[in-house]
Amino acid sequence: MKKIVICPNQLRDVDLELTEQLSALLRENGAEVKVVPFFDKDVGEDVVRAVEGDLDGADMIVCLGGDGTILHLSKPVARAGVPLLGINLGMTGFIAGLERDEWRETVRALNGDCTIEPRMMLDVEVERGGETVAEGLCLNDAVIERGGEEHIIYLTACGDGRKICSFAGDGIIFSTPTGSTGYSMSAGGPVVEPEAESLIMTPICAHTLSNQVFVVSPARVLTAEIGGSEVRTVGRLMIDGKNLLALRTGDLVRVKRSEQVFKLVRIKERKFYELVNRKLSMKV
């Protein structure tokens, strides 16, 4: 018997109607099912419950929601080493393996009729005055962005301690291939297929004649140091769209490939570039 943990976003699956239907279907097919609602529906998406204890012994997580819900779950799921199947109840749904009307296909995973697609993640830390003051794990991206009252932020980016570029602008995005179709692409970055396992560094509105994007080896350790003559808060660090820390001049943000791997369940074959064209309404 397989243990399946269903993590629904109650803001997407109102009254947990689809969750109940899926639970019944999986139980009929011999699975042990546990339902763990992820968000507090009365408060909103900023209040999430800790699910780590509920993942013990699980063979698979089924996430009902959009890509944002999957990004929330990616951290505890990766640390638990449990594969996740996403059923898209959101808008774009790049990461999810199934669409809303395909939810019955989930039973195929009970018989092993699926594949596991590993996705690289990033470890992020902030060094201030020689000490680590914040750490994070992300599946999509880590973003340094200027504060609301700041006109620009000054950054020097390095790879393995060697200078890559310096510029003034709105910030910089460190992205995985999974996150390449998100904020990085909107800022002029490339679309990178997941198998490439590259690190992507995309300046945001850089005040230079050439706004370069850098795609580097996943073995590199990338850093961005925040410049300025006066020590003050000039921006913030976002991890997968959530605020991690207010940043000051002199802070050093370090990004590297994580040992944690997000395991994505695929039931239906989805060719990457066909998915990109369909989801982004791009004509081939």
What is the Cα Rg of the chain in Å? Answer: 20
Neighbour tally for 140: CB within 10 Å = 29
Residue 84 pairs in a beta bridge with 61, 264
Please identify which of the residues 40, 46, 59, 67 carries the catalytic annotation. Answer: 67
Q: Give 148-199 as a 3 state SS string.
A: CCCCCEEEEEEECCEEEEEEEECEEEEECCHHHHCHHHHCCCCCCCHHHCCE
Q: At 37, which helix (H) or strand (E)?
A: none
Rounded to whole angstroms, the Cα distance separating 266 from 264 reads 6
> How far lies 55's CA from each of 177, 244, 248, in Å?
26, 24, 37
Q: Which SS3 state, helix, strand or coil, does residue 238 take?
A: strand
Rounded to whole angstroms, the Cα distance separating 94 from 17 reads 23
> How far lies 83's CA from each of 76, 107, 114, 280, in Å?
11, 15, 11, 26
- 67 a catalytic residue: yes
Long-range CB contacts (< 8 A, 24+ apart) of 271-274? 272/193, 272/194, 273/193
| Residue positions annotated with a catalytic role | 67
